Amino acid sequence: MSYIRIWVHLVFSTKNRHPYLTKNIRYKIQKHIMENCREKSIFLQAINGYTEHMHCLVSLGREQTIAKVAQLIKGESSFWINKNMLTETPFMWQDDYFAVSVSESGLQAVTNYIKNQELHHARKSFEFEVKEFADKYGFSLEKDDL
C-alpha cells in the first residue's frame, strides 16, 4: 500500500477578479466544492474565500496532481454555478492559480488562515495578498495573474 501525505494550499480567483462571491453565493459554492471533493476522492482539509477568490487546503492522493485537482475543483464548480444560475452573468474562474506545498507543522496555521478570510480581507485587499504571496514564495507576477 502506498502512503502519501502531500499538502497543497491552492488559491484561485474569479475571472478578472469580478466580485461574484458574495457571502450567500460563496457559502453555497464552498458547500458544493466540499461535496464534489468527497465524490472525487479529493481530501479537502479547509476551504474559504472572499468576494473574488477561493482558498483550498488539499492533500493529494497517490494518483492526483495539482493540475488535475485544480481542474476538478474549478471546472466542475464553474459548471455547477452556471447550471444553477447563481450569478447574473456567466461565471468563470481565472485560468491560473497559486499552489504551494504546506508542511505538516504548518497545517494548523494555514487552516486558520483559510478559515479567517473575511477577517483577513477586512484589513487587506486580495491584490495585496497576491503580491505578498508572490513575494513570500518567489513567484514573478504578470499583469493578469490571478
Q: Does residue 59 belong to any structural domain of this protein? A: yes
Q: What is the pLDDT of residue 128?
A: 78
Q: Does residue 145 belong to any structural domain of this protein? A: no
Contacts for 110 with CB less than 8 Å, ≥ 6 apart: 7, 9, 46, 57, 102
Nearest-CA neighbor of 11 among 48, 38, 36, 62? Answer: 48
What gap in Å lies between CA 88 and CA 106, rounded to an integer?
A: 39
Q: Are 141 and 131 in contact (CB under 8 A)?
A: yes
Q: Does residue 142 belong to any structural domain of this protein? A: no
What gap in Å lies between CA 77 and CA 71, rounded to an integer?
A: 10
Q: Does residue 146 belong to any structural domain of this protein? A: no
pTM greater than 0.85 (yes/no): yes
Q: What is the pLDDT of residue 121?
A: 82
Q: What is the pLDDT of residue 144?
A: 56
Q: What is the pLDDT of residue 26?
A: 95
Q: What is the pLDDT of residue 19?
A: 95
- The tens place of each residue's pLDDT in the chain, 146 residues long, gives 778 899 999 999 999 999 999 988 999 999 999 999 999 999 999 999 999 999 999 999 999 999 999 999 999 999 999 999 999 999 999 999 999 999 999 999 999 999 999 888 878 787 878 787 788 878 887 765 54
Helix (H, G, I), strand (E, B) or coil at 144: coil
Q: What is the pLDDT of residue 33?
A: 98
Domain range holding 54? 6-137
> What CATH code is carried by the domain that includes residue 33?
3.30.70.1290
What gap in Å lies between CA 124 and CA 115, rounded to an integer?
A: 15
Q: Does residue 1 belong to any structural domain of this protein? A: no
The count of structural domains within the chain is: 1
Q: Is the dihedral of CA 144, 125, 128, 59 positive or negative?
A: negative
- Please identify which residue in the block is written with the cell numbers 466542475: 76
Q: What is the pLDDT of residue 145?
A: 53
Q: What is the pLDDT of residue 116?
A: 93
